[in-house]
Amino acid sequence: MLMGMNASLPTRTPCPPGACDCGRETLRDTRILLLTRQEEKRLLERLENVRNLADLEHMQRKLYENLGIRVQISPSYNEVRTMRGFNIHIDDLPGLCRKTRQSIPAAIRRALEREPEIAYRLLDAHDLLRDA
Give every residue of the chain whose pLDDT is below 50, as ranges.
1-6, 132
Residue 119: other Cβ atoms inside 10 A: 21
What pLDDT, on the 0 to 100 scale, is given for residue 48? 96
**In this structure, what is the dihedral angle of CA atoms 109, 111, 117, 123, given to the nearest 10 degrees?**
-30
What pLDDT, on the 0 to 100 scale, is given for residue 28? 79
**pTM, full prediction:** 0.82
What pLDDT, on the 0 to 100 scale, is given for residue 16? 77
